[in-house]
A and B are shown apart, each in its own frame.
Chain A
Amino acid sequence: MVEIKTIDAANLEVFSEVLQSLAATDRDITVVTSDSRGSGKLVPFGQKYPDQIVEVGIAEQNLVGVATGLASMGKKAFAVSPACFLTARALEQIKNDVAYSDNPVKLIGISAGVSYGALGTTHHSLHDFAVLRAINNITIVAPADNYETAEAIKQVAEMHSPVYLRFGKKTMPANLNATGSDFKIGKGRVVQEGSDLTFIATGEAVLPCVEAAKLLEKEHNISCKIISIHTIKPLDSELLLAVAENKKPIITVEEHSINGGLGEAVASLLFQNGNTNKFKIVGLPDDHTVSGSQTEIFNHYGISADGLKNTALNLLSL
């Protein structure tokens, strides 16, 4: 069994540890890297299980093709590469070889979103939800905390269909909801109950919602519900439609372009089902991304405690 850490760690580190633990008893677990074993924290994995790691060099198209071939022969192939390259350079391989051909490749996008910060747009993945949402037959997962990451890796390992999992490298809380042990791919997770407003967020954008909710509670006595939609596709429509029933304002938050990501997916679902809640999508605007660390970029675009607090107050007309 994989032990859930109680000390905060980067989701990337959790991924590496869980994968090592799975590989100890499952010889079919095979990691494929594109000169990314260091950035994927997979050096210890490679030392422990040299027969279960395959290096392809800096060649993302071949990374996904080789992982497809391994998966077609029964291996549990994890193709690990920075999210920016994996989902752009190898997009046709993801579309044709993985999704269309229905090969159960596990695509792992590391250092996703703006994790690479000041390295700039070449290294940011703000398009991955959008492009993959438009491709049939692929599950998209972005865990928020260490708990969600560990559970996601374990569940992904046993999936028999294509899946894309992305996370960052910044330290995240061990568990945003200490009482919650209900992670299931395809089902949203209630991080916090509340009655005045709902944050619907994904990945590393859930944490600032928790921080903003604390400020709103303390300074304005506003009670916020927070949902982690770790699975962008298939979307948990049952939970989201139930959330909208209270008619309260909804703010979606994501480390992704405001075009084609979580926010538009939720808006599409709610609007087509007759909901008229006040609604705001927070993410990276359709513009050149400002330079800086992930935290600085988040602050710049209001994916922060103060930024989200102000967005909430505006939406509540306070």
Chain B
Amino acid sequence: MHIAELKRKSIESRKKILKYIYNAKAGHTGGSLSIVDILNVLYNDVMNISPENFNSKNKDVFIQSKGHSVEALYVVLADKGFFPEEDLLSLCQYNSPYIGHPTKSIPGIEQNTGGLGHGLPICAGAALAAKKDNSDAKVFTILGDGEMAEGSNWEAMMFASHYKLDNLCAILDYNKLQITASNADVMGLEPIDKKLEAFGWAVTHVDGHDLDELSKTLNSLPLENGKPSFIIAHTTKGKGVSYMENVLKWHHGVPTEEQYNLAIAELDLQLQELETVLK
């Protein structure tokens, strides 16, 4: 997909994320704004996944390990045509299937996630199955940075390199904030690239909001033959809304009416600027 179209989708997705979180009075706002560019590129420019092929064996697989940023996933899946977008008006409401974490009851979602440190082991198993079946399927996951403290991730890291799963790609949403404070204060990750390399992964850094860079990197996998790929995507929590960016309370903060209108106005301005550049 043309980068300009991806840019338009990212801004529109941000508006939708805020709309449905504001409506629900619940949601993981900061993290959803942090990962939406990655999801946009994966679903619209990289992965072979659509409502038409979702049940076929050779399609790609995506499991969102940081399940709490589900609002971004819902918005991107609705845009792909997996379900009507207006379904999201029931987000987190009584008896709605659109709960605050991904579930398989929603079309387009592979596995129920929400507990952290679960996505990568499952993806590793799926990637191994694809290898055994000589399938072209690639397997992707997005991990949160706070989630990297879960030991199960490191069990799966050892496994994926041991079995040379170069059809597996993990993307770290590295916004450097978690619910309590910064990663550095809660449980330091650095030097994360060296740790991952020591575990046998091919590692690269990208700007997690640069759609062009994300597209180029994710379309040229594996980073190295015979190794699983780890993309450290440097992101900004709350990206796209000035007063939310890098502010801890927006981890699961819900905007007031005034804050919501302000955010939408900022995003509308970004859309206008994009149109101007394109002209």
**Measuring CB to CB, which residues of chain A are less than 8 angstroms from any residue of chain B?**
30, 51, 54, 56-57, 59, 61-62, 64-75, 77, 92-93, 96-97, 100-103
Contacts and interface: CB of A to CB of B under 8 A. Distances in A.
Given A69-B121, A74-B57, A100-B112, A61 B126 contact: no
Interface string B84-109: 00000000000000000000100000
9 contacts: A61-B152, A65-B156, A66-B128, A68-B121, A69-B129, A70-B129, A73-B133, A74-B129, A103-B111
B81 interface: no
B121 A70 contact: no
Given A96-B112, A97-B111, A73 B121 contact: no
Interface string B108-131: 001111110110111111111110
Given A59-B155, A61-B151, A66-B159, A96 B126 contact: no
Interface range, B side: 20 to 34
Contact of B132 (A51, A61, A96, A102): A51
Nearest to B126: A69
Contacts of B130: 73
A66 B151 contact: no
Contact of B129 (A65, A73, A100, A102): A73
Contact of A61 (B111, B125, B133, B155): B155
B97 to A, nearest CB: 14
Contact of B125 (A57, A72, A100, A101): A72
A288 to B, nearest CB: 28
A249 to B, nearest CB: 44
Contacts of B124: 62, 65-66, 69
B132 A92 contact: no
A103 B125 CA distance: 12
A185 B100 CA distance: 35
B158 interface: yes
Contacts of A51: 132
A66 B112 contact: no
A69 B127 contact: yes
B128 A101 contact: no
A66 B127 CA distance: 9
A97 B159 contact: no
Residue from B113, B118, B130 having most chain A Cβ neighbours under 10 A? B118
A73 B117 CA distance: 20
A71 B61 CA distance: 13
A150 to B, nearest CB: 27
A70 B128 contact: yes
Contacts of B133: 73
A73 B110 CA distance: 11
A101 B110 CA distance: 9
B134 to A, nearest CB: 12
Given A73-B130, A101-B111, A67 B125 contact: yes
B126 A56 contact: no
The 4 nearest A-B residue pairs measured at CB: A69-B125, A65-B121, A73-B129, A62-B155
Given A57-B159, A66-B159, A93 B129 contact: no
Contacts of B114: 96
B112 A73 contact: no
Residue from B57, B133, B152, B158 having most chain A Cβ neighbours under 10 A? B152
Given A51-B132, A69-B127, A92-B115, A62 B57 contact: no
Given A57-B162, A72-B129, A96-B113, 15 more contacts: A54-B128, A61-B155, A62-B156, A62-B159, A64-B121, A65-B120, A65-B121, A65-B122, A65-B124, A66-B122, A69-B126, A70-B129, A73-B130, A75-B129, A75-B132
Given A69-B121, A72-B111, A96-B115, A62 B152 contact: yes
A75 B125 CA distance: 10
B110 A72 contact: yes
B104 A101 contact: yes
A66 B158 contact: no
Nearest to A105: B125
A68 B125 contact: yes
Nearest to B163: A54
Contacts of B125: 65-73, 77
A92 B113 CA distance: 11
Contacts of B113: 96
Interface in B20-77: 57, 61
Contacts of A67: 125
A65 B118 contact: yes
Contacts of B159: 56-57, 59, 62, 66
A72 B127 CA distance: 11
A62 B125 CA distance: 9
A85 to B, nearest CB: 13
A102 B128 contact: no
Contact of A69 (B57, B112, B123, B155): B123
Given A57-B159, A59-B159, A72-B110, A97 B122 contact: yes
Nearest to B105: A102
Contacts of A73: 57, 61, 125-126, 129-130, 133
